[in-house]
Amino acid sequence: MQMAMNMICELILTIEFLHKNNTLYRDMKPENILLTQEGHIYLIDFGLSIELDENEEFAQTFVGTPLYLAP
């Protein structure tokens, strides 16, 4: 249980860091989260990520993986 909580906290901190730096990560799925031997996470596959300008509030495009979209 503790390991899962640490992973979730690291993931939240990672997303928070990206958002503070105007980067929108748009490919969140289990396959894109790697776990190190020490129990830390790596977020991979930034191919769909975009960098927002200071005056933009949201992205204008839709992206998604069909396996993870609602029916």
Encode the chain (71 residues) as per-residue pLDDT tens digits: 888 899 999 999 999 999 899 888 888 889 999 999 998 999 999 888 888 887 777 777 777 777 777 77
**What separation, in Å, do the N-terminal and C-terminal C-alpha atoms of the chain show?**
31
Q: Where are the domains of the chain?
A: 2-68
Q: Which CATH architecture has domain 2-68?
A: Orthogonal Bundle (1.10)
Catalytic residues: 27
Q: Is residue 32 within 8 Å of 61, Cβ to Cβ?
A: no
Report pLDDT for 37: 93
Report pLDDT for 62: 73
